[in-house]
Structure 1
Amino acid sequence: MARNKRHLEQKVKKEEIELVAMALLKEKGYDNTSMAEIARSAGVAANTIYWYYENKDDVLLAVLNRVVSQAIADVMALQEQPLRTRVLMLIAQVESSGSLMTDVHSRVSHSPKVRAWHDRFHTMVEQLSVSELVKAGVNLAEALLDARVLIYVIEGLLAHPHELQEREQIVDHALKRITGQLKIPSQVKTPSQAKT
């Protein structure tokens, strides 16, 4: 029985650390947040945090897992809404995580753990996107590539913030092209062809 109680206490303490770390990482970013600061803010001794996490990348990944789980749950709760609404919700959810995704991209080349998390995240979002696009009428072969295009649009909007109206226009345009509702000219002339 004591073991279960200790396990529960550890789980609660780990959750407290992750919530504190999330707030600090969102506010200050990865590089400006130390493990000692996370420990102090969570009310644990500086060395105690290493009982729970090997290093700061492990803390970052735990926080990211929380953020992504919540974002996916929120998007899935909108299952009856149009794809556009869900894409915009996903962007808003990830954007609300502050610099966390930027921190992931900056850590990918330095940490095999972060790279593995990033690759799994992309695969998951890609699979969800393929499923959504097939439901929207895109054939599977095209949906595989279109899902990547959609992910690049989402990442571009996150990396380069736009006004809400412009963001909505970009998402609308991308979805119309992907789902075939916006016809792409079959033969686009190059500038030199246009002169002839």
Structure 2
Amino acid sequence: MPANRRPRAREEKRDEIVTSARRLFVDHGYDETSLSKIAADAGVTTNTVYWYFADKDHLLVAVLETLLAEAMSRYEPIAARPLGDKIMFAVDELSAMRNLVDTVHSRRSVSPVIDRWHDTFHGVADALTRDDLPPETAEAASHIIAFVVEGLLTHPGDDTERRAIVDLLVDRIAAH
């Protein structure tokens, strides 16, 4: 049983659970991380985790929301940069959590909450690139960008190779 700790506010306790889950999901993977390991790391009981999250998938979504919020807070200086820089930013941000990207894709077919989060994430990502694309092809082009980013995460190369791929992509889809 976890050691007694000072009483914590509800949001603080929830944040500690999410922080523990994030660390364990990133370090050990989703499948290898049980809710009991997360609870122990956060200094709470497993039942406490269930008080805040319906299941492990809901906790994963909370972790993903936190990661997305952090990435978006770093995006502001990139927002005015060329499309290629925006795409490279996405690749760099997502590379740090590559195994979570894989988890989202593998779990979305069996988890409605993860599937909804995935669709919402793609909507956000599409919105960030649409203004840089010709209106008549923006929807398809934004999807192609997502596919290329996911491909670069699955088959990582060095920075020079990734940049060459992104530059070729931008050259082909963003021509006005």
TM (normalized to structure 2)?
0.91
- Name the structure 2 match of 1:175: 170
- Name the structure 1 match of 2:22: 22
Offset of residue 83 of structure 1: 2.1
Q: Structure 1 residue 163 and structure 2 residue 153: aligned?
A: no
Offset of residue 27 of structure 1: 0.7
Offset of residue 72 of structure 1: 2.2
Contact 1:27 1:98 in 2 (8 A): no
Secondary structure in 1 matching 2:123: helix
- Paired residues, number: 170
Q: Structure 1 residue 93 and structure 2 residue 88: aligned?
A: no
Secondary structure in 2 matching 1:79: coil
Secondary structure in 1 matching 2:132: helix
Q: Which moved more, 1:69-78 or 1:162-171?
A: 69-78
- Name the structure 1 match of 2:33: 33
TM (normalized to structure 1)?
0.82
Q: Which has the larger radius of gyration?
A: 1
- Name the structure 2 match of 1:141: 136
Residue 155 of structure 1 aligns to which amino acid in structure 2?
E
Offset of residue 20 of structure 1: 1.0
Q: Structure 1 residue 50 and structure 2 residue 50: aligned?
A: yes
The one-character-per-residue Cα deviations of 1:125-179 (angstroms, maximum 9, x if unpaired) are 112221232xxxx2x1111211111111111111211111100000000001112
List runs of 5+ in structure 2 lacking aligned partners. Answer: 1-6
Contact 1:21 1:63 in 2 (8 A): yes
List runs of 5+ in structure 1 lacking aligned partners. Answer: 1-5, 182-196
- Name the structure 2 match of 1:189: none
Residue 99 of structure 1 aligns to which amino acid in structure 2?
N
Q: Percent identity?
A: 35
Q: Which moved more, 1:143-152 or 1:59-68?
A: 143-152
Secondary structure in 2 matching 1:99: helix
Contact 1:57 1:114 in 2 (8 A): yes
Offset of residue 79 of structure 1: 2.2
* TM-align CA RMSD: 1.6
* Deviating 4+ runs (over 6 angstroms): none
The one-character-per-residue Cα deviations of 1:19-41 (angstroms, maximum 9, x if unpaired) are 11101000111100000000000
Offset of residue 180 of structure 1: 2.1
